Structure 1
Amino acid sequence: MSHSQYVLTLSCPDRPGIVNAVTGHLFENGGNILESQQYNDLETDRFFMRTVFAQSEANASPNGLFSGMETLAQRFDMHWTLRDRSQRRRVMLLASKFDHCLADLLYRWRIGELQMDITGIVANHPRETYRHIDLGDVPFHHLPVAKHDKAAQEAQLLALIEQTGTELVVLARYMQVLSAPLVERLAGRCINIHHSFLPGFKGARPYHHAHARGVKLIGATAHFVTADLDEGPIIEQDTQRVSHHDTPADLIRIGRDIERRVLAQALRCYLDDRILLNGQRTVVFAV
């Protein structure tokens, strides 16, 4: 007998009976729980839950699942999502001159590590900039940014996002600051990789600033994009120890590797519904 797998995520004010109500509802609709994680933020008294469950086709009743969850959502004041795991996320990749993150994501996608459908690559540099990368038949869009007419370029970008049904936008070292109106339209579905271990060394040339300060650790941060530059909820971070022997060029080389793996891990968590927003922070359930 074939089975469909679903992933349910939810957050709500904490109170007794949430887990019992949710798991009981899944059981009543033929659900068999395969994985479940919960977290209670004691500071905000808010409860978070991610549950993966299977449902045999004989017992499948998506309408029953959804209608029952709507009832529970009203009862517990829940924010929730329910997704069939066979439905791949639609993701758009944005890049600029530095292409190591773009190349890495394409490689991981091609070998099946990142289960997603790429709706397109958007770059503010022409396709020839990426001639050493196998872009294949992924739609490529060159959208240059005019110095005094950035709004026109962003209108084109937003039109592409909407036309392609893009669910998530990934800034793979896209070195352009998105406007507040565009960020608002993409709230909770735009991830950036920052080439620094935030909140330190923001802005341009962070590795040069780090070298000038003689840091012993460098890192990278993946976060949701908000109107506050580089201040969005953090999803993933990593660091690596460096020393006084390392030049700015060494730090940049080391940093590229950190950036690639941090962004890939953040994207992997998003694709598998492991990230729940918690105000200015995130709850990220372990892989």
Structure 2
Amino acid sequence: MNMFTENTARLLISCEDRPGIVQAVSSFLYHQGANITALDQYATEAQGGQYFMRVEFELDHLATRLETLSSTFAKNVAEKYDMQWTLSSVSDVKKVGILVSKVDHALLELLWRHSRGSLPCEITQVISNHEDLRDKVERFGIPFHVVPVNKDNKVEAYAKIDEMMQGNDLLVLARYMQILSEDFVAKWPQQIINIHHSFLPAFVGANPYKQAYEKGVKLIGATAHYVTADLDQGPIIEQDVERVSHDYNVEQLRELGEDVERNVLARAVRWHLEDRVIVNGNKTIVFD
């Protein structure tokens, strides 16, 4: 595991694959005096596919040099290879807002990991459409707000939530049992992560563990994905499954399933915070 400092930066790149990309990036960083500490890459084809790269490096006095470094990289490297790219300092901690309803397992996993320092972010607030989880959230010192949502006030409610969440870099739906409007989702592209209580595309809708029980499944799972206007169809970040037996009842399936959910969501959120995810159409490249 890398030890990050105030001089650690991350560079994410996607572009058409061409010879010379690795050399161009590494040579640029070398001539800037940077030391590469981690480099991951992936190409979709042996020749002529899409290319993806994630680089971590150390550079003295990064804070005062980041703006110049970005503009120089854009001019000398990115433009030549027509790159989509981001360059950021690890010390710029991302801000995260959480949306939840009444079920607490996914939420509490995030709050617990954050309290132990294993989620590198600032959790700014939790917003719910119910009052139920206030005490549990406030025990962690996190502000808790209630914005009721019903069929008659959804436009106003989502406008209020959007306003309250401004300034965050990421929103996490920790079992938020409301369907976000297309307008809301459009304002947060690739900035909303949801946990779905099944191994997508199976068992979409209500009572997934009852559906699983009635089908006699032998595997149950969970899926974390970015939210898009198409319900539960966004790019998948992480999935996991557990094997089950014919003698599991609905409650046993739910208990095991919730364990899978909490861990899948936490991994997906951490990978996003650590700039390990690159979205490519409706797929993701995850350098985990």
Is the CA contact (8 Å cut-off) linking 1:219 and 1:237 kept in structure 2?
Answer: yes
CA distance in 2, matches of 1:225, 1:3: 32
Is the CA contact (8 Å cut-off) linking 1:29 and 1:61 kept in structure 2?
Answer: no
Seq. identity, %: 45
CA distance in 2, matches of 1:33, 1:41: 24
Q: How does 1:193-272 map to 2 (within 5 A)?
A: 193-272=195-274
Residues 3/214 of structure 1: CA separation in 2 closer, same or farther (3 Å cut)? closer
* Residue of structure 1 equivalent to 2:57: 53
Shift of 1:281: 0.3
Alignment size in residue pairs? 282
* Residue of structure 2 equivalent to 1:29: 32
TM-score calculated relative to the size of structure 1: 0.94
Is the CA contact (8 Å cut-off) linking 2:126 and 2:143 kept in structure 1?
Answer: yes
- Partner AA of 1:173 in structure 2: R
CA distance in 1, matches of 2:140, 2:274: 25
CA distance in 2, matches of 1:117, 1:187: 20
Q: How does 1:165-180 map to 2 (within 5 A)?
A: 165-180=167-182
Question: Structure 2: which 5+ runs fail to align?
Answer: none
TM-score calculated relative to the size of structure 2: 0.94
Question: Structure 1: which 5+ runs fail to align?
Answer: none
Q: Secondary structure at the match of 1:101?
A: helix
Please identify runs of 4+ aligned residues in structure 1 that moved more than 4 A: none
Is the CA contact (8 Å cut-off) linking 2:137 and 2:143 kept in structure 1?
Answer: no
Is the CA contact (8 Å cut-off) linking 2:7 and 2:63 kept in structure 1?
Answer: no
CA distance in 2, matches of 1:134, 1:259: 23
CA distance in 2, matches of 1:199, 1:131: 34
* Residue of structure 1 equivalent to 2:91: 86
* Residue of structure 1 equivalent to 2:106: 101
Is the CA contact (8 Å cut-off) linking 2:126 and 2:137 kept in structure 1?
Answer: no
Q: Which of 76-85 and 56-65 deviates more?
A: 56-65
- Partner AA of 1:55 in structure 2: L
- Partner AA of 1:237 in structure 2: Q
Choose the corresponding residue for 1:6, options 6, 9, 16.
Answer: 9
Choose the corresponding residue for 1:148, options 137, 148, 152.
Answer: 152
